[in-house]
Amino acid sequence: MLVVLRPGSAVFHPAALLMIGMALCNALYALLTRKLADEDPHTSLFYSALVGTVGLTLFLPFGFAGGWPPPRDAAVFLLLGLLAGLGHWCVIRAFARAPAALLTPFSYLQMIWATVYGWLLFGQLPDLVSGLGMAIIVASGLLLAWFERRRRSP
């Protein structure tokens, strides 16, 4: 695919900063979860929920349209919070029981699931360049895990 830029066309959109911020927050979450694997899981869950609550509350005035959400939406958000908390607890317990080198390849399943959900829910698939980028990221992560496992085994 050849991209031809016309004079005056923008290559960067400010909304891309949201994705960069999300990637940084996700990396920080993963690092802290691994680092705090020896702590009590409930303590880690409490502090991650506290940081998320305080951080997102700062943005509430900018996104709150007023009024309460419909009961169905509120129930879906409550279910989302409960499942996210359960998922975080499972990740904490996994890092307490296994080395990070063994668990890291499973994190690449996030890209696969995001692609599947994008296709099923929105009818969108990544373009060729995005697919190639994802394949490089997954392959490099799996190679790194393989080399780490070979290095540790006698």
Is residue 41 within 8 Å of residue 96, measured between CB atoms? yes
Mean pLDDT computed over 101-123: 85
Looking at residue 1, what is its pLDDT? 44
Looking at residue 11, what is its pLDDT? 67
2 confidence band (pLDDT: 50, 70, 90): very low
Looking at residue 143, what is its pLDDT? 84
Q: Which residues contact 127 (CB under 8 A, 6 or more apart)?
A: 1
Please, what sign has the CA dihedral across residues 16, 22, 116, 1?
Answer: positive
Is the whole-model pTM more than 0.85? no
Looking at residue 64, what is its pLDDT? 67
C-alpha distances (whole Å) from 49 to each of 15, 56, 87, 130 are 25, 10, 13, 32
Mean pLDDT computed over 8-16: 69
